[in-house]
Amino acid sequence: MPERILQVATDMSGHANDKITEIKGVTRATRTLALNALIEAARAGDAGRGFGVVANEVKEISQQVTQIAEELQAMFDKLAEDLARTAQTARGDRFADLSRYVVELMDRNLYERSCDVRWWATDAAVVDACEKRDDADVAGWASSRLGVILDSYTVYLDLWVADTDGKVIANGRPGKYNVVGRDVSSEAWFQQARRGRDGSDYAVADVDRNPLLDNGATATYATAVRRGGQVNGEVIGVIGVFFDWENQAPMVVNAISFSDEEKARTRVMLLDSADKVIASSDGQGVLQEKFPLKIEDPRRGFYLNGDGSIVGYALTPGYETYQGLGWRGVIVQQSRKHN
């Protein structure tokens, strides 16, 4: 609808200017005829005096018509400008709202991931693996259990369990990812999870590529495993879950329905707190590009670029107990090309 209003405003202004130009052309011709008539009346002397008065009146009326046409042109230009501004505001608000929808949709998804990791930290097999960290059979049972979970939750690349020293003792896809025995003690998600206050706390890492998961892009969530699976139990290990960002995130940024024409000139993105592109509907620049976002209101807004494109953005609102990571949804739409 804003696009249609903008098009109508442009068309109205164009048609009005065309007609006013025609009026001005007629009045110019009328003034020329009136001037010629005055000249001829002057040559005719007394006989042409009355005709000269009429010619002078025609000239004045022509000037008045020109003035009215100029006033009409100014009025139409202002109306078209106001209408275009209203349409752009509606269009910008629409994109800001859609940007919020995109980032909120991802937040809702990631809220589930924060719930998953805290729930699985209390699984008997996971707790036993951490309590009996040197028992290979127990670790094997934990890996088997994690594999069953992965069969039902297809949004993960893998699930890992590490002891308090940071050594991975079990994972859900041992046949695909050879990570058992790896040291993850230097990873920020492990360190943060190990320091968690209680079983309700969790850690989250920025989206990045994980070399131990075939360099796949992941969103990592982790929490402490506690003795007996109790909320305030002693920390005996850490469980980390690796959300399959590369395959799941595109579904979110492509979730908005645009017409084929609009889709071809629209880019939907998720930016992290440093404005790095972490997901893009065109698949370009992911984890490499830093988008030059111009922020006035930090929560939501829109602006026009010099090339006529419009940018709408919105800050993550968080969801339930998930506060978000300062990400923003962003939509960029190029102006429609006119023939």
CATH number of the domain within which 40 lies: 1.10.287.950
Would you state the pLDDT for residue 13?
A: 58
Q: Looking at the structure, tell me whether residues 200 and 293 fall in a common domain.
A: no
Would you state the pLDDT for residue 28?
A: 66
- Between 245 and 306, the higher pLDDT residue: 245
Q: Looking at the structure, tell me whether residues 58 and 16 fall in a common domain.
A: yes
Residue found under tokens 């131990």? 212
Residue 276 lies in a domain: yes
| pLDDT (tens digit per residue) in 285-337 | 999 999 999 999 999 999 999 898 999 999 998 888 787 889 999 999 998 76
Q: Looking at the structure, tell me whether residues 225 and 273 fall in a common domain.
A: no
Would you state the pLDDT for residue 339?
A: 42
The Cα 314–Cα 300 span in angstroms is 4
The Cα 142–Cα 172 span in angstroms is 8
The residue type found at 148 is V
Of 239, 234, 236, the closest CA to residue 221 belongs to 239
Read off the pTM. 0.77
Given a cut of 60, whether residue 6 has pLDDT beyond it is no
| pLDDT (tens digit per residue) in 20-69 | 676 666 666 665 655 665 566 666 665 555 555 555 666 666 677 667 76
- Between 15 and 184, the higher pLDDT residue: 184
Residue 115 lies in a domain: no
Structural domain boundaries enclosing 65: 2-89
Would you state the pLDDT for residue 338?
A: 46
The Cα 270–Cα 248 span in angstroms is 13
Q: What is the CATH number of the domain that holds 313?
A: 3.30.450
* 200, 230, 245 - which closes a domain: 245
Q: Looking at the structure, tell me whether residues 136 and 238 fall in a common domain.
A: yes
Which structure tokens are listed for 149?
């979970």
With a pLDDT cut of 90, the percent of the chain lying above it is: 65
**Averaged pLDDT, 183-187:** 97
Beta bridge partners of residue 95, listed in sequence order: none
Q: How many Å is the maximal CA-CA distance in the chain?
A: 128
Based on the structure, what is the number of domains in the chain? 3
Q: Which of 104-113, 162-171, 213-222 shows the lowest mean pLDDT across its residues?
A: 104-113
Of 319, 314, 268, 318, the closest CA to residue 100 belongs to 314
The Cα 7–Cα 35 span in angstroms is 42
| pLDDT (tens digit per residue) in 97-135 | 999 999 999 999 999 999 999 999 999 999 999 999 889
Residue 257 lies in a domain: yes
What is the SS3 assignment for 197-239? CCCCCCEEEEEEEEHHHCCEEEEEEEEEEEHHHCCCCCEEEEE
DSSP state of 283: -
The Cα 232–Cα 213 span in angstroms is 32
- Between 219 and 323, the higher pLDDT residue: 219
**What is the residue-averaged pLDDT of the chain?**
86
Q: Looking at the structure, tell me whether residues 240 and 284 fall in a common domain.
A: no
Q: What is the CATH number of the domain that holds 160?
A: 3.30.450.20
- Between 64 and 271, the higher pLDDT residue: 271
Residue 210 lies in a domain: yes
